[in-house]
Amino acid sequence: MSNIRVIIHGSGGRMGEAIAELCRQSPDLEVIAGIDRDNSTVLEDLEPADVLIDFSQPEGLQQALEWCLKTRTALVSGTTGIGQQLMVSLRSAGTKIPVFWAPNMSIGVNLAAQLVATAAHSLGMTADVEIIEAHHRYKKDAPSGTALQLAEVVASARGQDFNAVVKSGREGDCGVRPDGEIGISSIRAGDIVGDHTVLFQLPGEALEITHRATDRDGFARGALEATRWLNHQSPGYYDMRDLLASS
């Protein structure tokens, strides 16, 4: 069986470096190019690969998506902070190429999301839900993509409109907490890799579901599992739920 030919888009970032290191340890994966803002390599100069792995910025993901569509290359992306228009483009691209997007590639955090869905469905509106996320001081977007994903999981499980109930940050005289609100608080400090806690506060008791990343290898391993899996898929839009369901 031939190796999976991989391009790493965002190779100079923390995740890009972690993915490259794990690829070097994986006999079935061959990195044919790494692209970063600080090097002279551009996508237009490259031969098509089997899969492009993108951990960049929203504008970088847009460029990578256009190149993948042109060359019919499968795309795995964990880039966060993307807007609604780019999300629509990713889903639309799935009609032509295999596309895999997840704000967090960790197997553990996605299993935590399944637990959150179960708790939210069981507790319904009897619990106040707050999400607390913490990342390193260099992370540019807030709330994190994972926190937003967890909020969406809660809203969906409770039959709520995400845009109507999610509140990011509170300040000043913000009034009494509305029933059904899903709050998100963000912390940026030091070298925190990524912590996410979903708090279900009930009268007289509380349930917390927490995932804590201690290094980036967990995210990188998840991205490579997604790469291996996507290489065998037909065109479509996929996420971690599809990968976990196939395991």
Same domain, 209 and 125: yes
Q: Does position 171 have pLDDT exceeding 90, yes or no?
A: no
Same domain, 117 and 180: yes
Q: In the prediction, which pLDDT does 103 show?
A: 87
Same domain, 31 and 42: yes
pTM for this entry: 0.79
In angstroms and rounded to an integer, the radius of gyration of the C-alpha atoms of the chain is: 19
Same domain, 48 and 117: no
Q: Does position 147 have pLDDT exceeding 90, yes or no?
A: yes
Residues with Cβ < 8 Å from 184, sequence gap 6 or more?
130, 131, 132, 133, 143, 147, 148, 151, 166, 167, 168, 169
Q: What is the dihedral of CA 143, 135, 19, 110, to 10 degrees?
A: -60
Cis peptide before 27 (omega within 30 of 0): no
Mean pLDDT calculated for residue range 130-134? 98
The chain-wide mean pLDDT, for the chain, equals 94
Q: Which domain CATH number covers 184? A: 3.30.360.10
Mean pLDDT calculated for residue range 146-150? 95
Same domain, 148 and 235: no
Range of the structural domain that residue 185 is part of: 107-213
Same domain, 88 and 123: no
Same domain, 53 and 134: no
Same domain, 90 and 144: no
Share of the chain above pLDDT 70, in %: 98
Whole-angstrom CA distances from 115 to 41, 57, 94, 153, 236 are: 42, 30, 28, 10, 26
Question: Domains in the chain: how many in total?
Answer: 2
Same domain, 74 and 20: yes
pLDDT band at 37 (very low <50, low <70, confident <90, very high): confident
pLDDT in tens, 76-127: 999 988 999 999 999 999 999 999 999 889 989 999 999 999 999 999 999 9
pLDDT in tens, 39-89: 656 778 888 899 999 999 999 999 999 999 999 999 999 998 899 999 999
The residues annotated as belonging to the active site are: 135, 139
Q: Which domain CATH number covers 96? A: 3.40.50.720
pLDDT band at 1 (very low <50, low <70, confident <90, very high): low
Q: In the prediction, which pLDDT does 88 show?
A: 97
Same domain, 111 and 187: yes
Sign (positive/negative) of CA torsion 178, 119, 132, 206?
Answer: positive
Q: Does position 36 have pLDDT exceeding 90, yes or no?
A: no
Same domain, 63 and 156: no
Same domain, 65 and 155: no
Q: What does the alpha-carbon distance between residue 120 and residue 156 come to, in Å, rounded to a whole number?
A: 9
Query: Taking a C-beta distance cutoff of 8 angstroms, is the pair 73, 81 a contact?
Result: no
Q: In the prediction, which pLDDT does 47 show?
A: 82
Q: In the prediction, which pLDDT does 40 show?
A: 57
